[in-house]
Structure 1
Amino acid sequence: MIRSFGTTRDGAPVRAVTLGPADGLQAEVLTFGGILRRLSVPGPKGRRDLVLGLPDVAAYESDPAYLGCLVGRYGNRIANARYAYQGRIVELAPNEGANQLHGGPRAFSRRVWRLQDYQAGAESRLVLGLTSPDGDNGFPGTLEVTAEIIVAGGDLTLRLTAIGDADTPVSLTWHPYFNLAGDAQVAADRQMLRLRSQHFLPVGPGLIPTGALEPVAGTAFDFRRPRLLTPRHNHPQIFQAGGYDHCFVLDGEPVPDEAADWAATLSSPDSGVSMRIHTDQPSVQFYGGQGLASQYPGLGTGVCLEPQAFPDAPNQQAFPDAILKAGDRYSRVMRFSLSW
């Protein structure tokens, strides 16, 4: 189903697209920002919403928390909104102090995407497209981006592709806030998290990675076995970030007899809903949502699990390369498998 969701302040029409059957997993995606506004499953008292959402386009246009949006050209932070490449400095547009966050001001999360294809049915499919012009927030080259979103059975899949005409950093991701309790007023830290990760990236001022990889073993960052999300305030990095807002490297060994591509699991003891995330991205950013209380009093609580490239990789030679070469095709996938 496709319906109108109002217009932007510039007068551009926005549509809301519902994927999935009435008796199963459903997702509502906006053409504005590629926002996952709703994700819901059937429950004994009606449908249970599993992500946080806002009521209208105006709320999303002024949203400081990136609720549910597609993020690009570069998810997370780039230090000092600049990087060096092939002997020159590329200046980007800052939007978080001196740094750039999530692609800069009016990035992919603030644009109306093209609705390129839609198929209803037991396997619902939506394809969104966006052209990021040369110099967009400082990034070189024109980049053509496609987001294919599929709901089939208990799976929500996002496939992200891009191709550009100049070498440019690219790290595309999705930014939903999950609360699997089905009630956003239930504390999100009552959820159980597991991460297939032996290392995380410690951060310094501005939440920029220091460049080190720190073992999680025996620390507040050890989620190799499922545990409650309540922060353990016995680690200086918790104080540095005001909670969890860190990148976890997907370098852990898969558990025997389990699929090797799972990255994270999240579950709610309150609802019995669980979710497994599969991805070919090298890391997952875990944000505990601690900023929501001041940004949206009364909205509720949620946490983000964002498959992505390493933050600040264009400035960190030891990190995996995140430069998309001209003419090459960027392709990444994330799949959220729900059970209830």
Structure 2
Amino acid sequence: MERIRPFGQLDDGTAVHAYRLGDGDGLCAQILDLGGILARLQLPVADRRIDLVLGLADARAYFADPGYLGILVGRYGNRIGGAAFALDGRDYQLAANEGRHHLHGGLLGFGRRLWTVREHRRDLLVLHYRSPDGEEGYPGNLEVTASYRLHPDRLDLRFEARTDAATPFNPTHHPYFNLAGDPAVPAAAQWLQVPAAGYLPVDAALIPTGAVAAVAGTPFDFRRAATLHANADPADPQLRAGGGYDHCLVLDPGHGYCAALYSPHSGVAMRIDCDAPALQLYGGHGLDIQHPGLGRGLCLEPQDYPDAPNRPAFPPAILRPGQTYRRDIGYRFAVPGRDRDWKAVAAALELP
């Protein structure tokens, strides 16, 4: 079984490789040195292997991808309004790559850069990237390590970083999950539970207004498990602004997990663990135009608040010299079975 295989070349001739984690008897992952992309994640279920995330064919497809499939996101996940911020008395202008705003780190961000492989074993891949001062407009030389560790039923991702100048820093991960393993099954048919009593309303450009609104009585209330299809209200002004779900849920203090997802079609369930204060929920509707025929997946992105550098009332997301940044994201999988009730799903995932 190949541990490393060619995954194509970029237009400038740069070779991209795929690194395999796992042996086939449990969870298996395929990760690219381009963007640290999680290109494939499979779980054995009965007599077949279920594809848990959406993926593309080769390196060129990923480099040209406007949907950020599977990438490590940085320096700053989500949006920074006006592609600008002030820090310690100085104004900074970032690359504007979504109209006049900044999204997911800019024109290339972390997701279209080649990372250095520091270590690769059957169950571990350690990637490193040095983001120089001024890249995409950010201050400071930033050293980032992203470590993927595979277990039979879990994939863990750890970000670690240091900087020599204060900089906004909010890395996250951007896989599209459809646990049905079948692109013909709507991603909105998955059951979702998120321990979040609040969310961040956005304006027409999807920039947070600065308020934190209660989810009660809105389509954003997933405190009890529900499908996106059942919760969505096409007349809701927030869903109309985003063309669907593309909103940040504010996780409850002391939350025991970030999100739980279940496909009644495959019987596969997933729990996401992270200490981040928020979770971006994106319904994947942009893929209908960006990648026709690929299907949809749900993005569940643990992170700090979007546009926090411009919102003093939001928790800060600034990394300073002398600090070591660390954030762990864990994806744990179970197979409670097809068409189970949520009580059985929660027990299989050991939800608090």
TM-score under structure 2 length normalisation: 0.92
Q: Residue 306 of structure 1: SS of its match in structure 2?
A: strand
Q: What are the residue-to-residue correspondences of 1:1-340 with 2, within 5 Å?
A: 1-120=3-122, 124-230=123-229, 231-251=232-252, 260-340=255-335
**Deviation at residue 205 of structure 1 after TM alignment:** 2.4
Aligned equivalents of 1:98 and 1:58: distance in 2? 26
Aligned equivalents of 2:47 and 2:246: distance in 1? 34
Aligned equivalents of 1:45 and 1:206: distance in 2? 46
**Deviation at residue 88 of structure 1 after TM alignment:** 1.9
Q: Residue 276 of structure 1: SS of its match in structure 2?
A: strand
Deviates more, 1:228-237 or 1:124-133: 228-237
Q: Residue 111 of structure 2: SS of its match in structure 1?
A: helix
Deviates more, 1:147-156 or 1:39-48: 39-48
**1:12-69 CA distance string (max 9 Å, x none):** 2211111123111111100001000011111334211010000001101110000000
Q: Residue 48 of structure 2: SS of its match in structure 1?
A: coil
Aligned equivalents of 1:252 and 1:167: distance in 2? 27
Instruction: Report % sequence identity.
Output: 52
Unmatched segments (≥5 aa) in structure 1: 254-259
Aligned equivalents of 2:239 and 2:203: distance in 1? 11
Is the CA contact 1:248–1:284 (under 8 Å) kept in the aligned structure 2? yes
Is the CA contact 1:196–1:252 (under 8 Å) kept in the aligned structure 2? no
Is the CA contact 1:194–1:266 (under 8 Å) kept in the aligned structure 2? yes
**1:287-340 CA distance string (max 9 Å, x none):** 001111111111111110000110000000000000101221111010000012
Is the CA contact 1:75–1:311 (under 8 Å) kept in the aligned structure 2? yes
Aligned equivalents of 1:261 and 1:81: distance in 2? 34
**1:111-151 CA distance string (max 9 Å, x none):** 1100100111xxx0110000000100000011000000011
What letter corresponds to residue 249 of structure 2 in structure 1? F
**Deviation at residue 86 of structure 1 after TM alignment:** 1.9
1:257 match:
none
**Deviation at residue 252 of structure 1 after TM alignment:** 5.7
Aligned equivalents of 1:251 and 1:89: distance in 2? 33
Is the CA contact 1:170–1:323 (under 8 Å) kept in the aligned structure 2? yes
Aligned equivalents of 1:43 and 1:183: distance in 2? 13
Q: Residue 258 of structure 2: SS of its match in structure 1?
A: strand
**Deviation at residue 159 of structure 1 after TM alignment:** 0.3
Aligned equivalents of 2:327 and 2:45: distance in 1? 32
Is the CA contact 1:166–1:327 (under 8 Å) kept in the aligned structure 2? no
Is the CA contact 1:143–1:163 (under 8 Å) kept in the aligned structure 2? yes
Unmatched segments (≥5 aa) in structure 2: 336-352
**Deviation at residue 8 of structure 1 after TM alignment:** 1.8
Is the CA contact 1:220–1:233 (under 8 Å) kept in the aligned structure 2? no
Computed over aligned residues only, the root mean square deviation of the Cα atoms, in angstroms, reads: 1.1
What letter corresponds to residue 227 of structure 1 in structure 2? A
Deviates more, 1:185-194 or 1:19-28: 19-28
